[in-house]
Amino acid sequence: MKADPDKLIIDGTLGGGGHSEMFLKTGARVIGVDRDPEALAHARTRLAGFGSRFSTFEGNFSQMPEIPSVQQGELVDGILLDLGVSSRQLDSAERGFSFMREGPLDMRMGPSSPRNAADIVNHWPEADIVRILFEYGEESKARRIAGAIVRHRAVKPFVTTLDLANCIEKAVGRTGKTHPATKAFQAIRMAVNEELESLAIALNNVPKVLKPGGRLLIITFHSLEDRMVKRFLKHSSTEFLDEPGWPEPRPNPDFQFRLLSRKAIAPSAGEISSNPRARSAKLRVAQLLNLPS
């Protein structure tokens, strides 16, 4: 990814700082946003050599309009959102994201998350657990897993990631290569961090932060996120709306983007072989239009 010198970019998901570094190397200024203070500290050290061209904002990317320079009226040339958790977060046992590593049932990307994974599995009503497993995990065995969670916690509350992973494996068995807790862990993580809610707010905030002509790039790893981005961009890049029963098409009040790629861009085979976690990534790119107000 490249940005021209003197452009100002918000990297809304700073993580390890890899994308920010690419922008900085081409001369741009970057504001790195992350809700994880550990990620911010790590990236600040990694990118210190870029001096004042790199700055950070601790918070949710849904809060982009609250970034001090944006508040002072400076709009940005580009926004990148590379959704989900970072490898650093996943690989760190004590963050509780992995069903392969013993750790506390945490899964918060940062301290601002209103709950942790233990709160959900130990206290949420069974129906709500079923709902998130279905909705966020697209888990067809949601009822069976939620039932097992509720029976287990009645005897002994869940404490660690492996308590939960083992309970799920016992409930649904293991077939194939994928661990049977994969979808449930993803669903619980998305609920802990209110990931879809944050994305919906961020999409609506983009025109408050981006210059007319500026670009929005979003990388998703999950069909629900991709669907949300695709629908938002499709609607907001449609100039006229038409419905059966209307005498003629009407101007779309939400028309404000131009799609720079009609379809999602998938990673190349080379990218997947150097980073297997990229295999389900989809990139969508759009440009904010310069419309008369």
Question: How far is the C-alpha of 194 from the C-alpha of 114, rounded, in Å?
Answer: 9
User: Which structure tokens are listed for 244?
Assistant: 């059966």
Q: Cβ 39 to ligand SAM, closest distance in Å? A: 4
Residue nearest to ligand SAM (CB): 15
For the bound state, the minimum distance from the C-beta of residue 278 to ligand SAM, rounded and expressed in Å, comes to 10
CB of 292 to ligand SAM, least distance (A): 32
Note whether 198 binds ligand SAM by CB under 6 A. Answer: yes
CA–CA gap between residue 52 and residue 137 (Å, rounded): 41
Q: Are 79 and 67 in contact (CB under 8 A)?
A: no
Query: Binders of ligand SAM among 98-137, rule CB under 6 A?
Result: 109
CA-to-CA distance for 277 and 41, rounded, in angstroms? 24
CA 267 to CA 93: how far, in whole Å?
Answer: 28
- Listed ranges 15-23, 90-98, 169-177, 238-246: which one lies at the site for ligand SAM (CB under 6 A): 15-23
- CB-CB contact of 257 with 286 (8 Å): yes
- Looking only at residues 33 through 92 of this chain, which bind ligand SAM when binding is defined by CB under 6 A? 33-36, 39, 60-61, 82, 84-86
Q: Is 180 a residue that touches ligand SAM (CB under 6 A)?
A: no
Antiparallel, parallel or unpaired: β 282-288 and 54-58: unpaired
CB of 197 to ligand SAM, least distance (A): 9
Q: Does 18 bind ligand SAM (CB under 6 A)?
A: yes
- Count residues binding ligand SAM (CB under 6 A): 19
Amino acid at 54: F
